[in-house]
Structure 1
Amino acid sequence: MLLDGVLILIAIIGALVMWLRWNYGYWKKRGIPYVEPTIIFGNMKEVITGSTNIGVVSQKIYNQYPGEPAIGFFNMRQPVLQLKDLDLIKAVLVTEFSNFRENAMSITKQADPILGRNPFFLTGDEWKEARKTHTLNHTANKLKTLFKYIEEVKDDMVNYIKKNIGRKFEAQDFSGRFTTDVVSSCVFGVKTCSLAEEDSEFRKKSIEILQMGWKWSLFMISPSIFSILRIPLINKGIQDFFYNLVKDMVEMRKNNKLTRSDFLQNLINEKEHNFTMMEMTAQTMTFFIDGYATSATEMSFLLYMLAIYPDIQDRVRNEINNVEKLDFDTVHHLPYLDAVFNETLRLYPAGVVLSRLCNQDTTLKGGNKTFEFKKNDRIEIPVFALHRDPEHFPEPLKFKPERFLNNANHPALLTFGAGPRACFGSRFAKTQIKTGVAYLVKNFRILPGTEDRSMPTVNNSKTVLLSPDKEMSVKFENL
């Protein structure tokens, strides 16, 4: 009996091992070079265990086969094709978009009523409609209307720093408070005072949005589990907070016949769609999450790079001082500030990888090879790795803004993606970040908060977005 039991156990373990390894010959059969996977984790052990940021793991895969236009790897048991060749990447994101139109990650509205309505996760006609709504609300004219609210927050920030000269600020926290105040005003019409009120309830809720912990790690690996088991990425308390906020603001405006030139008002005025309260909440939170979180990350690295490179900061200041007025138009016509912005986001992009699904069999050429993409093949575009590839950007670990002075549209720069699924909020992000930074540089000298002047490393995976491995602080002094 004991022997029979042992044999059965061995057979079960053997069958389990075979099942776990069953798909690991996928890329070999297709003649595509690949990184040898380990059982259970595939090539994603560091991501699954939370020890390393997915962008850094993606870069390790990228560096395995120099010169190859694409590399296969495994997300647990799922085969993924990482694209390295720029022609292949352009085809997937732009010219052949109709064959790769869906993100590889999605979540249903039943699982998460907020993110399930976010254009990033939507598919098909729902994505088209959501993209249309957000694109119409991110035109230059709409952003010009919102600029006065950015200026109000900018004034509050400058006055706050004048009262706190020499104080050390953690760069991400400081930037997050600025973008929270900007976006809450532009989206909801709410003045949140996150800088002055350090225990602001609104600021606390904003931080909680991205504190997904194990959820995000699991979602990156197996998003379908969340839809099947109806597990929300954003917890119920956060959903309720913003739902009630939107409901109260809409009712207050309607009951008192009030209007305001902001994103929420645009939704209220949209007669064609007649949005439900939950749809309004999801739409406003899409704008809020994109505008607050990613912009805060990007702004924090930009401030720190200016702090540790004082000569570059001085050059930005000279450019700003040579314009008569810092308004919406001039903020977008400061070539050197633009170059510094692009170089910062090259090194520290908010989105470190892009993912797509092939929705029908397609043949594409990359390098000197032809690739047969099969329906449901998962594709990865390794943004972080591309941005640090010396073939595209010589001396990639050096901070050299001048590389973008005459080439702002480098094909390997994918900070905001490319094609129809590119980030529609990029113009707003650039507007608030550049405005905030321009006025800080104009009024103060930005210094590092510690004696350390080294460039930040970003191996950890503490949050959904890139975050530095060690303290990244700044302080301000009068000019």
Structure 2
Amino acid sequence: MLLILALIAIASGLFFMNLNYMYWKKRGVPGPEPTFFVGNILDNFLVKKSLADLYGEIYRKFQDARLVGIFKAGTPTLVLRDPELIKDITVKSFQNFRDNELYLDKSVDPLSGRNPFFSKGDDWKSTRVLLTPGFTSGKIKWIYPLLEEVSKNFVKYIEKQPETTNIKELCMRFTLNNVGTCAFGLDAKCFEENNPEFKQIADKYFSPVGFKNVKLLLISIIPALAKIISIKFTPKDVEVKLTNIITQTLKYREDNNIIRNDFLHIIHQLMKSHKDFTEVDATAHAAGFFGDGYETSSIAMHFFLYELAANPETQIKLREEVNKAFEENNNTLPYEEIQKMAYLDAAFSEALRLHPPLGSLNKMCTKNYTYVPKSDEIIKKSFVIEEGTPVILPLYALHRDPKYFDDPDSFKPERFLDGKKDTVKYAFLPFGEGPRACLGQRFGSLQVKIGVAYVIKNFEIFVNKKTTLPIKYDPMYFLTLPREPLWIDFKKIR
């Protein structure tokens, strides 16, 4: 009897899933035909393609549509193709799409669950209000000397390495040293030791291998599983170690009346001024730098250096700007000077366009939204985007659309010079847009720029033949990471 009931339940579930695949057709929304059970994400489910590549294929297939209806397994999902619509959803109608799709419960994961990226509703808003003052241009300038010191030591470290280097590993050491000194008030020792304790913590936190990432992948494919599977992104031993570091450092500073110009001091001030801001909150927001300041920044930086190595004319032009800045400032690079370096900014923007650390931004409809089609589009009638519908902003596809970027697969920093960046604002979204844009983008961008400036001043760089081309992205990782390492040759400039 139980077997019969189970078979009936399975058959009913399969029937209603199949019936659900008519969801977008009933609303007149174009989209690819789904495959039973997996919807339109079969190749990602089979670990053949990254979601960035998969959304890119869908994006290019429906060039006459402003939005495309797909299915993540049985979940109706929208892929946006139009910058004007993206502007509406991220800014004008933000309250209808307030949350990101991926949510971590802070009762399950006390650290990552407090990260604004993974928070929702009022939790996100209150956290954002608390943290925003710590990321102003004034506060970033405050910690700039720390980044400058790490950059100088970075050059010395590269000088001691083999000529051919795994550039991601190199950039990870640089950004992790910055996170250590700026967010945790410690020396991460990534230039002195091969495998220091802080690097071990970071590696475990972000390792692309393990059940944690399988869970993340499954939930990105089948959002409904989030209600069943509880995700703890932060391993327990990492949580304990980071908490101990923060607790001990804050106690030492308090006992010895030490004030240091870093983010930990800002967090400490929050603890003093807000009674409900605990040591758990302090640890959580310092740990948030692993995302903004360590992993995503190292990905962006290593792609930036790769593109400079692959495009020697651009590298030479950037070196001229960098050398001029150093020469005019007694062989230093002040904060104000790096802000004026137009070609450095343009080249970094171009690297972010080609290789955004997040291949897509996944939003969630939090309040019913009526979509009204334009008179000339293929959708002919209005329909309601229902609360709970995932909405995908396919950054990788948008960034390589020839409609917005001429010769989109080529590295051309000039396209971002002379204020041109603003003309494609909602087609160029490496940090997101609107109230939920990346809070740490100033810090992340600054550390990449100063690190690259010091490298280009001191070294000529070339792509080594060990690098596998064309670059293909890892389908098992939630960020835009190459399947195979990128290898760069460094030649010291005498």
Of 166, 169, 174, which aligns to 1:170?
Answer: 166
Distance in 2, matches of 1:150 and 1:251, equals 24
8 Å CA contact retained: 1:458, 1:466: no
Instruction: Point out the more displaced range, 419-428 or 213-222.
Output: 213-222
Letter in 1 for 2:481: S
Equivalent in the alignment of 2:431: 416
1:5 Cα deviation from its structure 2 partner: 11
8 Å CA contact retained: 1:215, 1:233: no
- Cα deviation per residue 1:303-360 (whole Å; 9 max; x = unaligned)? 1111111111000001112222321121121111111111111010011111222222
Of 252, 276, 279, which aligns to 2:278?
Answer: 276
1:453 Cα deviation from its structure 2 partner: 8.8
8 Å CA contact retained: 2:75, 2:224: no
8 Å CA contact retained: 2:467, 2:487: no
Which one has a larger percent helix, Structure 1 or Structure 2?
2
Letter in 1 for 2:182: C
Give runs of aligned pairs for residues 237-386 of structure 1, distance below 5 A.
237-270=237-270, 271-274=272-275, 275-323=277-325, 324-325=328-329, 326-365=333-372, 367=374, 368-369=376-377, 370-386=382-398
Instruction: Point out the more displaced range, 249-258 or 12-21.
Output: 12-21
1:146 Cα deviation from its structure 2 partner: 0.7
Distance in 2, matches of 1:161 and 1:459, equals 26
Q: Secondary structure of the equivalent of 2:99?
A: coil
Distance in 2, matches of 1:35 and 1:287, equals 38
Q: Report whether the alignment pairs 1:54 with 2:51.
A: yes
Distance in 1, matches of 2:165 and 2:416, equals 29
Equivalent in the alignment of 2:178: 182
Count of aligned residue pairs for this structure pair: 474
Equivalent in the alignment of 1:465: 479
Closer, same or farther: CA 397–273 of 1 in aligned 2, 3 Å: same
Closer, same or farther: CA 469–366 of 1 in aligned 2, 3 Å: farther
- For normalisation by structure 2, the TM-score amounts to 0.91
8 Å CA contact retained: 2:95, 2:367: no
Moved over 6 A (4+): 4-10
Q: Report whether the alignment pairs 1:390 with 2:405.
A: no
8 Å CA contact retained: 1:210, 1:464: no
Q: Report whether the alignment pairs 1:448 with 2:455.
A: no
Equivalent in the alignment of 2:217: 217
Distance in 2, matches of 1:189 and 1:399, equals 37
Distance in 1, matches of 2:337 and 2:273, equals 35
Distance in 2, matches of 1:75 and 1:111, equals 25
Letter in 2 for 1:172: K
Distance in 2, matches of 1:208 and 1:231, equals 16
Closer, same or farther: CA 13–331 of 1 in aligned 2, 3 Å: same
- For normalisation by structure 1, the TM-score amounts to 0.93
Of 27, 32, 37, which aligns to 1:30?
Answer: 27
Distance in 2, matches of 1:33 and 1:98, equals 26
Closer, same or farther: CA 63–297 of 1 in aligned 2, 3 Å: same
Q: Secondary structure of the equivalent of 2:322?
A: helix
The answer for unaligned runs of 5 or more in structure 2 is none
1:255 Cα deviation from its structure 2 partner: 2.2
Letter in 2 for 1:427: R
Closer, same or farther: CA 402–365 of 1 in aligned 2, 3 Å: farther
1:236 Cα deviation from its structure 2 partner: 1.1
Q: Report whether the alignment pairs 1:159 with 2:156.
A: yes
Equivalent in the alignment of 1:430: 445
Of 38, 43, 63, which aligns to 1:41?
Answer: 38
8 Å CA contact retained: 2:168, 2:485: no
Equivalent in the alignment of 1:202: 198
Distance in 1, matches of 2:66 and 2:20, equals 22
Distance in 1, matches of 2:227 and 2:249, equals 30
Letter in 1 for 2:280: M
Distance in 2, matches of 1:289 and 1:460, equals 18
1:222 Cα deviation from its structure 2 partner: 4.2
Distance in 1, matches of 2:214 and 2:138, equals 40
Equivalent in the alignment of 2:189: 193
Distance in 2, matches of 1:5 and 1:130, equals 49
Equivalent in the alignment of 1:86: 83
1:11 Cα deviation from its structure 2 partner: 5.3
